[in-house]
Amino acid sequence: MARSPLRPRGFDDLGLQRALSDRLLPFLVAAMAFLAALALAGFFAAAQLARHWQQGAAASVTVQVPAPSAPAAGAGAAPATRLKRVLALLRKDPAIASARALSAAELNALLRPWLGAESRPLALPLPAVIAVSLAQPTASLAGLGAALGKAAPGTLIESHGVWAGRLTALAESLQASAAVALLVVTAVAVAVVAVATRSGLATRREAIEIVHGLGATDRYIAARFAARATRLALLGAIAGAAASLPVLLTLARVAAPFGRLEAPAAPLAIPTAGLPPLLWLALPLLPLAAAVIGYVTAQVTVHSWLRRLP
């Protein structure tokens, strides 16, 4: 069929199909998008981990009550054991979300690593252990500690906040590293598009000079380069983001116990497939971001290059 002499769609007056390769640039952008997806996943996963540790471990406190069955100090008309008194005091405190004494079986389970698997009752006088959840991880327990000590002298409050704080700091530094990696990937993507555009400008110099001589504005010429760079970056980033998905899903399954203590039995069955929910929003934005990088970088590069023409 004879080609219509009418302007075809995507009329390539500058011959950019030859200049901006439809293989190399999309491949490089795909690699950048793949790395960006990993960095984004790291960023959101580290944020989720930090949040989890802050809300979980940092809000947990263990209270040990020695001689739990002994009568509490200052017992009046209604005598109570030290354990019951401590529990009552804990449950009354507004900073405490819940307080629950561990059963003998749970205590045995805790001690098993040190004392062996024998289930014989121990002759040692064991303290009672109360698992406490704080309403706020930052709540101060100083006043409560004094009150508990008064009701049941020798009671110990062991906060998990220090370890949780350290783990949170670790997660936050991971998050910062992921953010830096994302910035570096963005900078490299800008450089890749700029180099490809400059190479295209050098290759098509004669065509650009002819079109410029015919009265094409800088905007006209830059728009053609930008359209091509945007399209190639978009396609590359779609491929890169899609390629990252299987890797991310695999990593999510492997890392599930770290981010979620109650690891789901079938991670792929839940809507987020084990990935941080925000990642599902961010992944489709990657090709859009790549397209914006392609458009802006090509525009700036071409405009600055065209300044050399009169």
Q: In the complex with another protein, which residue's Cβ is closer, 194 or 207?
A: 207
Contact pattern for another protein over residues 189 through 208, marking x by CB under 8 A: -----------------xx-
Check binding of 22 to another protein (CB under 8 A): no
Concatenated DSSP letters of 167-215: HHHHHHHHHHHHHHHHHHHHHHHHHHHHHHHHHHHHHTHHHHHHHHHTT
Q: Identify the DSSP state of 99.
A: E
Q: Identify the DSSP state of 81.
A: B
Does the CA dihedral 6-11-12-17 come out positive or negative? negative
Among 102, 157, 196, 214, binds another protein (CB under 8 A): 214
Please give the Cα distance from 112 to 261 (Å, whole number): 21
Check binding of 5 to another protein (CB under 8 A): yes
Please give the Cα distance from 245 to 186 (Å, whole number): 19
How many residues form the binding site for another protein (CB under 8 A)? Answer: 23
Distances (CA, A) of 69 to 73, 85, 99, 207: 12, 10, 18, 94
Instruction: Report how far Cα 214 is from the mean position of its chain's Cα atoms.
Output: 52
Among 28, 101, 216, 302, binds another protein (CB under 8 A): 216
For the bound state, the minimum distance from the C-beta of residue 203 to another protein, rounded and expressed in Å, comes to 12
Check binding of 15 to another protein (CB under 8 A): yes
Scanning 12-20, 111-119, 226-234, 279-287 for contacts with another protein by CB under 8 A, the matching segment is 12-20
Does the CA dihedral 75-81-86-89 come out positive or negative? negative
Among 11, 23, 117, 265, binds another protein (CB under 8 A): 11
Q: In the complex with another protein, which residue's Cβ is closer, 216 or 234?
A: 216
For the bound state, the minimum distance from the C-beta of residue 6 to another protein, rounded and expressed in Å, comes to 6
Q: Dmax of the chain from CA atoms?
A: 108
Crossing angle of helices 218-259 and 205-213, rounded to 10°: 130
Nearest residue to 16 via CA among 240, 279, 220, 296: 220
Task: For residue 22, give the amino acid letter.
Answer: D
Check binding of 12 to another protein (CB under 8 A): yes
Nearest residue to 130 via CA among 162, 176, 168, 96: 96
Among 102, 186, 218, 258, binds another protein (CB under 8 A): 218
Q: In the complex with another protein, which residue's Cβ is closer, 202 or 247?
A: 202
Scanning 59-67, 217-225, 235-243, 281-289 for contacts with another protein by CB under 8 A, the matching segment is 217-225
Check binding of 6 to another protein (CB under 8 A): yes
Check binding of 7 to another protein (CB under 8 A): yes
Please give the Cα distance from 237 to 235 (Å, whole number): 6
For the bound state, the minimum distance from the C-beta of residue 193 to another protein, rounded and expressed in Å, comes to 23
Q: In the complex with another protein, which residue's Cβ is closer, 3 or 120?
A: 3
Check binding of 265 to another protein (CB under 8 A): no
Scanning 85-93, 102-110, 136-144, 216-224 for contacts with another protein by CB under 8 A, the matching segment is 216-224
Which residues would be at the binding site for another protein (CB under 8 A)? Answer: 2-3, 5-7, 11-13, 15, 18, 206-207, 210-218, 220, 310
